Every structure is written in C-alpha cells, then in structure tokens.
C-alpha cells in the first residue's frame, strides 16, 4: 500500500490578496506545512499541483473576455512565470516530491489534467509509484479539490479529503462538494485523525 498526499493549488493567486483569493488559503499553506513536518512518515510521496495558465491567450475561454461568471470564466490568474502562480510562501516546497502543472492553454481543475515538467501524466506517476491511497488537501474545496478527489476515485484509488486542510470559495458550495466526494465513496477526515491512526500502526 503506497500513500500519496495531493496538495491542490496552494498558490498566491488563490490565497488572500490574490486574483482569486480564498479566505483561509494562507492558513491552509501554513497548516499543510506543519502537518507534513510533524508527521514525516505518513506519506510515501507528496504531489502538488499548480494552475499554470498562458498569459497571451484566454486559455480556451477560461479567462473571461468581459465580466467573468465565476463558474466557467474567471479573471486572469496563475499566469505562468508570475508571482501569482507561485506556491504560497508558507508552503514548504522542500516537502514536495512531484510538481504538476495544469491549464497551460486550456481550462483545468483536476490535478489529473496536468503533467510534470518532463511531460509525465499524473496517472503514469501514480502507476509508476504504485499509489493506492490518496489524501487531498488544498484550494479550493468547491472547485479543484473536488475535481481532483473525484478523479482520484474514478482512477480506483482510495481517497480521503482532510477537511481541516482545505479552503473553499463559499461555505454552501464547499459543503456540497464534500458531500459529493463522500457519496462517490471518498472519506472525510481531519488531519489529526489521520496522523493518530498512522502513529497507532
């Protein structure tokens, strides 16, 4: 049994003060770092995603040409090479083993839609590492965390969302997203419970 942690889009543009800043985003960055430092043996691999959008086009309609609807079209965010696309400084990137970039000219929400800098897809990475269990943390609960968790379930992995290490755009849609993950067969857990179970083994 190989366990992975997915850290979804803990980037400057998705935290407070960013182009699409989410309340609690900076705290997620800080607490994910603390969780990994305090529990170094829980995961065999840590995989982090980032939106990494083109700056010279609308990324397949993902960037709004006028007023964004905040469902399918959005303000410009996480443009490749800008500070907004970088990981939040409170996230210790030395703890990350695999970096996935998604977007790159088209809409992308799930970590499964991205690749490594070498061009490897996430399913290939997971298969190469024999990953069977995935925990998911990050931003935003109601969009990219939701999509990533559901895709992991669809890829026949055991999935948990760590509910104290996510931040969403809105409470109602975040709750619906977590309910959807649960209904699809995912588990909802706290990081403290996960760490405690790991310590008991």
Q: Are 155 and 126 in contact (CB under 8 A)?
A: yes
Is 92 catalytic? The answer is no
Catalytic residue, candidates 78, 102, 142, 151: 102
Cα 138 to Cα 94: distance, rounded to the nearest angstrom: 17
**Would you state the structure tokens that stand for residue 42, as one six-digit string?**
């829980």
| Tokens of residue 198, six digits | 């790991």
SS3 106: coil
CA diameter of the chain: 54
Q: Is 120 exposed, middle or buried (0-12, 13-18, 19+ CB in 10 A)?
A: middle
Residue 30 to residue 105: CA distance in whole angstroms: 30
Q: Is 9 a catalytic residue?
A: yes
d(CA 125, CA 116): 9
Where residue 17 falls (left for φ over 0; alpha for ψ -120 to 50; beta otherwise) is left
Q: Active site includes 78?
A: no
Active-site annotation holder among 9, 135, 142, 151: 9
Nearest to 31, CA basis, from 2, 9, 10: 10
Catalytic residues: 9, 102, 144
């Amino acid at each position: 049994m190989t366990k992975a942690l997915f850290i979804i889009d803990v980037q400057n543009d998705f935290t407070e003060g960013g182009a699409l800043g989410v309340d609690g985003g900076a705290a997620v960055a800080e607490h994910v770092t603390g969780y990994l430092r305090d529990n170094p043996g829980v995961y065999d691999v840590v995989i982090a995603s980032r939106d990494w959008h083109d700056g010279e086009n609308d990324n397949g309609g993902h960037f709004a040409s006028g007023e964004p609807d905040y469902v399918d079209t959005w303000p410009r965010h996480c443009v490749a090479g800008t500070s907004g696309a970088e990981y939040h400084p409170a996230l210790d990137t030395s703890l990350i083993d695999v970096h996935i970039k998604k977007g790159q000219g088209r809409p992308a929400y799930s970590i499964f839609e991205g690749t490594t800098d070498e061009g490897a897809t996430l399913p290939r990475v997971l298969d190469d590492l024999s990953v069977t269990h995935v925990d998911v943390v990050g931003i935003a609960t109601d969009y990219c965390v939701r999509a990533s968790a559901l895709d992991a379930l669809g890829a026949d992995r055991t999935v948990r969302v760590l509910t104290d290490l996510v931040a969403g755009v809105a409470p109602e849609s975040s709750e619906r997203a977590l309910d959807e993950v649960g209904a699809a067969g995912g588990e909802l857990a706290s990081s403290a419970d996960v760490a405690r179970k790991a310590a008991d083994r």
